[in-house]
Chains A and B, each alone.
Chain A
Amino acid sequence: MIVPTITALAAISVPSGMGRWFAATASGLLRSEDRGAIWTPAETSLAFHSALTVSPDQAVVLAASTDGIWRSTDLGDTWRLRPLVQPAPIMTAIACSPDFAVDGTVLVATLEDGIFRSGDHGQTWHHASAGLLDYNVNAITFLDHTRSLAGTSSGLTRSDNAGRHWDQTDATVDPSGVVAFAGNGMNLFGIDESDRLWRLWDGRKKAIPVLDDMVIGVHLLPGVSDDRLLIVCEDQIRIGSLSGDEWTAIHRMADGRSAVASALVCVGDRSELLIADETGTVYGVGHGNVGLWAR
């Protein structure tokens, strides 16, 4: 059996209660109704799917492929293709505004084609790279509904108007660019092209390395009193405070397998981390309320 490489994960809660998981792979988008036991192809295409997101209000699921953006408004039952530009760019990340239900803003990062933006919940897209000096964008995130950050091969660039105009920041990541983000308005962590974890943003101009493991994912775990960070390394999952000085291992990958993708799903006060390994297995970790993560 040929196991497709999983590049991104996402999940939504559905009325039946089991939830619906999505996995973007090199040969299409897969969907599971039973927490990863059986996967079926979603009705998108067999093209390479590189990024995936569910809007904060769970109303829209967006999948980036080499065809364009696939969009579903019925929890992933049916999909429609929304082209960006021809030929279609290689997309690396999708980010929805925290206020998506109201402003409908979504940003897509691409390699070589800069950033694309939608202001109507992902229905139409236009180029939004004004001010961008490096069009190789690896990661993108919203800090709040107006401020966003993009990680390029040459550093960080920020927007203060919901991704319509970008300004290069002074913050530098040495030696290479940012490929993933997690954080809030005060603290920001990123993974560089060598899979190391850096603290990028707390008012300092220079990023500080905080973890030298092979980090493949980093997620902000919202807490009641303080936020914490979940770090998905190749062989284990760690948790720590945003001060970034102590990390506790809370899960180890089974049978020497390596994690290849992860997604944090938060519904109410319940959170679950989805992990995909190189064999194509996907499972949830830490299902429960936020407090259980610390154990």
Chain B
Amino acid sequence: MTLPTRPSVVDLRADRRRFLAGVQKVAALVTPTYGPLPRVVGVAPLSNIRRPELLDDGGLLARRLVQLDHPVEDIGAMFLRGLLWKQRERCGDGTALVAILFEALVSDGVRLLAAGLEPNALRQELEDAAAKIDAALIGTSRPVVSEAEAVAIAASICGDDAIARAVGETLWGLGSDATIEVRSHYGREVAVDAIAGSYWPSAPLTRAPLDASSDRRATLFRPAIVLSDLEINDPTAIIRTLRFAHAAGAQGLLLVARSLSPETIAIINANSSPAFPVIAVRTPGTAASDQLAMLEELTALSTGRPLIAAAGETLASIRAEYVGMTRRAWIETGHFGLIGPTGDPAPRIALLGELRARQAATPELNASDREKDDAERIQERIARLTGAAARIEVGMSDGQTTDVRKALAERTVRGLRSALRNGVIEGGGSALRSCRPAVAEMRSDSDRPERRAAAEMLRTMLAVPADRIASNVGLDPALIDGTGGSGAIDLRTGRKVRSGSAIVLDPVMTIRSAVQLAAHGAGQALSIDTLVLRRSPEQATMPDGRPPR
């Protein structure tokens, strides 16, 4: 490690090639994982008793890179590493593409800046040119049209046939807003459990019907539902509630409450029978806003009215219109669910419309962390409202632990969801190459050298991914370039095929995000003039004062 022992300032204008060298080292690390037939990269274990990791995830690979020896190279490497991680967080895929595009831009940029171009003007022009490519990519995108395509996209993200089939078939079947919960298990296979209806995280407050069943799952047919966030301490109010449930023609009662007193629990258990099961569950959600949101969903599905503590309501204030109904309800240790909404669907349709409008207003790219959290919450709410949910259980496979496969499945869900929601482009590498005319006019219609340079940089950059894919699968890039408009090369087989058949599909958002991150990042990196290198941390010493070995 060669960090300076004292803080120092480096004029990067004179040392941009070092910065580029760091970028190239990270790019060389992740580039083999790019394309429809990704190669894996071996990472030595930290301890001798572990096996080397075999990774094909560019983001994870970059994460394994802790530091480069030269401080300026290290900053170049860490800069790119940050972009890769951002891409992984955004899309779950496309990290190698970011590395390839970024390396191409910085490599050209370093040369052009040495020739005297103005960095800030170049940065602005790169952003403008990237926006033109973005528009061209949107123009070439199309929706996913079949289950086979969904599975193929999933396979291109994860390279694991079993996970691709499970994620592709499930998300295609349930829609892009479905909640897919990925769990690990001890077996080796990948199993899908489609969940009928909608469910919420919760815990039972009374256990009588649960304890009576062999599988610790209680199922109620045509139960009344009373929703609340109340702490219920008044056992007599339970009796009143039960009367309303019987009067509504229900065949059971599901009570949702924040907590119950021991006396209340005793009354509920005493009134629960196989003919009329009664069970109470905790109000779902932890934060008050989450609780209210989930009560709103439950109300829309069961058409009762919730009793809200903040409004001064108690269970004693219950009236007939507070009692909702559902066709079926189920309760397990960690969840409860409803199957079959009842009553007027208008409130459900209105709430779904409101949630979809909020979802549409979330920025597709560049969302803040808060906006991303909100978007995820909205998607989960839509899934609960529309009853679209499944669990995928992932076991280990040869060479991959359960945890790695679980993470892979989660990444695949994220990538495929983006493809189903925003569309795909056919063959990421060739699609980028076909976007070159979008920036060609910038070269011809400007007398500003930075504008012409930015256009040329991006034009060159757009050709690199297809070349890299070809060399990754052992083909001559010239062969790809020479196919013309009438045909294409299936890179998985190396054979010429009809255009449109056997084409690799990439989520358009993954490609758009990669172009944007690379162009924005390169503009930023190329406009850095000065670096401050911090003093290296104090080295720990052995008790006798010697440095550690």
What residues make up the interface of A, taking CB atoms closer than 8 Å to B? Answer: 87, 112-114, 126-127, 129-135, 146, 152-154, 161, 164-165, 167-168
Contact = CB atoms under 8 A, between A and B. Distances in A.
A130 B388 contact: yes
A142 to B, nearest CB: 16
A127 B327 contact: no
B175 A131 contact: yes
A114, A130, A152: residue with the most chain B Cβ atoms closer than 10 Å: A130
A135 B327 contact: yes
A146 B146 CA distance: 9
Given A112-B342, A131-B388, A165-B388, 8 more contacts: A130-B174, A131-B387, A133-B386, A134-B345, A135-B342, A165-B178, A167-B175, A168-B349
B37 to A, nearest CB: 29
Nearest to A154: B345
Contacts of A132: 386-387
A130 B147 contact: no
B10 interface: no
A165 B387 contact: no
A126 B387 contact: no
A133 B348 contact: yes
B221 A130 contact: no
A126 B352 CA distance: 25
Given A127-B339, A165-B174, A133 B352 contact: yes
A161 B196 contact: no
Interface residues of B, number: 27
Given A112-B340, A114-B340, A135-B341, A129 B173 contact: no
B174 A164 contact: yes
Contacts, number: 65
21 contacts: A112-B327, A112-B342, A126-B194, A126-B196, A127-B196, A127-B339, A130-B173, A130-B386, A130-B388, A131-B175, A131-B388, A133-B341, A134-B345, A135-B340, A135-B341, A146-B146, A152-B345, A153-B345, A154-B344, A154-B345, A168-B349
A92 to B, nearest CB: 15
B175 A130 contact: yes
Contacts of A114: 340
B346 interface: yes
Interface string B331-367: 0000000011110111011001000000000000000
Contact of A161 (B147, B194, B348): B147
A132 B352 CA distance: 11
A34 to B, nearest CB: 43
A154 B349 contact: yes
Contacts of A165: 173-175, 178, 388
B386 A161 contact: no
A163 B245 CA distance: 35
Given A126-B194, A132-B386, A165-B173, A154 B346 contact: yes
A217 B348 CA distance: 31
- 9 closest cross-chain pairs (CB), A and B: A127-B196, A130-B388, A164-B173, A134-B345, A165-B175, A131-B386, A154-B345, A133-B348, A133-B345
Contacts of A146: 146
Contacts of A153: 345
B172 interface: yes
